[in-house]
Amino acid sequence: DVQLQASGGGSVQHGGSLRLSCTASMFDMDYYAVGWFRQAPGKEREGVSCIDSASSGDVTYYANAVKGRFAIFRDKAENMLFLQMNSLKPEDTAVYFCATDYQYDCNNWQSDYWSQWGQGTLVTVSS
């Protein structure tokens, strides 16, 4: 099975930036759609962003709450996925996860079908 690992979380102030990374073993990050999700304390997990496979055009998708502030992208050479988070808000505080389901596109990406999850990384944004 694929092994995913998110990293790069930390504590920042309102308006700050962080870049999250996701590494994978036994998995070509470029070959399938991959997504970022988050779970805030006491809340359900929610989709943050998704990127289609390279063969599907690397199309990106964002939750309304992060659109214009976050950017998802890959480094094919390093086989890594990233989430650049700018203009962070206290409501962005959550554990962030990367995930895949061996699909080629992000169709219905905000649904709860993702099967392969990595360990999360905590992002804390203070006001």
Question: How many helices (H) and strands (E) are present in the chain, helices listed first?
Answer: 0, 11
Alpha helices in 1-127 (DSSP H): none
The structure tokens listed for 40 are 């805030």
* Whole-angstrom distance, CA of residue 30 vs CA of residue 28: 5
Name beta bridge partners: 19. Answer: 84
Read off the pLDDT of residues 57-116 as tens digits, 9 standing for 90 and up. 999 999 999 999 999 999 999 999 999 999 999 999 999 999 999 999 999 999 988 999
Q: Where are the beta strands (DSSP E) in 1-127?
A: 3-7, 10-13, 18-25, 34-39, 46-51, 60-62, 70-75, 80-85, 94-100, 116-117, 121-126
Which pLDDT score, from 0 to 100, does residue 26 have? Answer: 87
Give the residue-averaged pLDDT of 27-38.
Answer: 95
